Amino acid sequence: KQEVTQIPAALSVPEGENLVLNCSFTDSAIYNLQWFRQDPGKGLTSLLLIQSSQREQTSGRLNASLDKSSGRSTLYIAASQPGDSATYLCAGNTGNQFYFGTGTSLTVIP
Amino acid sequence: EAQVTQNPRYLITVTGKKLTVTCSQNMNHEYMSWYRQDPGLGLRQIYYSMNVEVTDKGDVPEGYKVSRKEKRNFPLILESPSPNQTSLYFCASSLMRKTGYNEQFFGPGTRLTVL
């Protein structure tokens, strides 16, 4: 069964720092990988999708990469802002099933 | 506006009283799915559907039923709810392409409490 680990579980940084969130799958046969943001009490907002033929995606200050050989993904956030404070979740699919990590709770201190 | 809607958003019920949570999407997506989110366990997939009349179990299907009679709707049915089904439920949908799944879009969530 696929297990997804996100490290660290929680992170607190001062505004302006660059940071890296990590996600790893026990089964490296991930087809697509998606990063989400979840604000307290809210739903999930899609940030980036890396499809099977891709290795990374960028959107604004966010960059996500996927190493399929190891089943590891990283989300890089540049010049963090207080508005980035949220829980970040990674999810990947093996076949038609999707598996989520438990998330990294990020706090950006002004 | 492209969206996934769920109803109700909040529900408090009692053990054994059948309930249905509706999910609808207006993006003509083939793939729809239900998840539950519990503290410390993250999101776990309950059921998914790849198209009308095609459904399959996820990781935690026990105690749940689904149906996909129309492409836009994917209701979640709890025929005899129990307290361990108290959770935050999310519906999601995605386009399916030859290169794999496109991004998943999520509904706002349904917070269910079973007493």
Which positions in chain B have a beta carbon within 8 angstroms of at least one beta carbon in chain A?
Answer: 31, 33, 35, 40-45, 48, 50, 56, 58-59, 90, 92, 99-109
Is residue A66 within 8 angstroms of chain B, CB to CB? no
CA-based nearest residue to A62, from A39, A90, A42, A43? A90
- Chain B interface includes A90 (CB < 8 A): no
- pLDDT tens track for B38-81: 998 989 999 999 999 999 999 999 999 999 999 999 999 999 99
Q: Which residue has the tokens 């996934």?
A: B4
- Round the average pLDDT of chain A to a whole number and report it: 93
pLDDT in the model for residue B18: 97
B77: β partners: B20, B65
Amino acid at the residue B61: P
Residue tagged 């509706």 (tokens): B22
pLDDT at B99: 67
Q: What is the pLDDT of residues A3-23, one digit of tens each?
A: 899 999 999 999 999 999 999
Query: Residue B76 and residue A77: Cα distance in Å, rounded?
Result: 36
pLDDT of A30 reads 83
Q: Which of A98, A29, A101 lies closest to A69 in space, CA to CA?
A: A29
Across the interface, of A42, A51, A102, the residue whose CB is closest to B40 is A102
Residues B20-44, mean pLDDT to the nearest whole number: 95
Q: Assess contact for B75 and B21: CB atoms under 8 A.
A: yes
Residue A62 contacts B where some CB pair is shorter than 8 Å? no
Burial class (CB in 10 A: 0-12, 13-18, 19+), B15: exposed
Q: How confident is the model at residue B109 (pLDDT cuts 50, 70, 90)?
A: very high
Q: What is the pLDDT of residues A33-81, one digit of tens each?
A: 999 999 988 899 999 999 878 899 999 999 999 998 889 999 999 999 9
Q: Residue B96 above 90 pLDDT? A: no
